Amino acid sequence: MVDQASGLRQANAQSHYPPAFAFFGGEGSGVSSVVGELAAALAMSGQRPLLVEHQPGNHQARRLGLPTSASFASLSISLGGVSDLLVSNRYGLNLINLVASSEERTRMSPRLWRRLVSEFAALEADNSVLLIDAPQLVDDPTPLCIADNLVLVLSPDAESLTQGYATLKRLAGDYARRRFNVLVNRARDFDEAQAVFTRLSAVAGDYLSVALRWVGFVPLDNTLRKSQTLRRPTVEAFADCEAAQACRQLAQMLPRWHAPDSNAQRSSYLEQLLTTTKSLADLTGH
């Protein structure tokens, strides 16, 4: 599976699609909060981020104060288009709801898929970066298999480290992923964040053939919870708080994190999502 999964990411190369960053981590690590704040910070700085939601429940829309939308899975019934999945705010933050299980994606007709891939490719090419709120690997491995860049979000909790390491191990062993950016969330200070990264590096260095890169941390800040209650991103509602300042700095640096496992140029994200979903289903037999 390793060689074949790696090859899938190199097929059907195109040159005009923006880099894709998939964020993942253990439950309770604050992955969705981090990726939403980074997307908002990028949009407020004049960039054109496309935030890709793979988590059910329209949580990103609610967190960011955006209208809810149809999910990708619903298009097989409604026969709608990509525009039905897309919502935006006044400063250019675009959120698209691609929530669907692997089975729901593969059941869509080839004709519908061709139309949706074409519509999404035009949208994707008009944005500067994709930020993907990825599902848990056990639920749907495809987004983490195909994204150009992977960002592991850890918190200082021991369970976060355990779950993060377990996911790294599977991504390396089953899907040939080798490079990981590591961002520590909810750390009391720089020293605690560095200690979390050091612990992960020590364990991974002993047992996994992966490259881990520290990219920064978001400090523990109760203002984040307050902003979620208000349904506004912290970088907008409480721009001077420590977490907002950290998210703006991380967003500014995010383009420099781009270092994909493969140098091959890729096809549209949605096209890869379909072809890889089907190929992995063939490989695993379900």
Tell me what pLDDT residue 286 has. 56
Q: What is the total count of domains within the chain?
A: 1
Tell me what pLDDT residue 49 has. 96
Q: Nearest 5 degrees, angle CA 269-CA 138-CA 7?
A: 45
Q: How far is CA 158 from the centre of its chain?
A: 23
Please check whether residue 66 is in contact with residue 89, taking contact to mean a CB–CB distance below 8 angstroms: yes
Q: Cα dihedral sign for 267, 269, 270, 274? A: positive
Domain that holds residue 53: 2-9+16-284
Tell me what pLDDT residue 3 has. 41
pLDDT in tens, 201-228: 999 998 999 999 999 999 999 999 899 9
Tell me what pLDDT residue 285 has. 59
Tell me what pLDDT residue 283 has. 79
Tell me what pLDDT residue 13 has. 38
CATH for 122: 3.40.50.300
Tell me what pLDDT residue 238 has. 97
44 phi/psi in degrees, rounded to 5: -70, -20
Query: Which residue ranges in the chain fall short of pLDDT 50?
Result: 1-15
| Half-sphere exposure in the Cβ direction for 123 (13 Å, CA) | 25
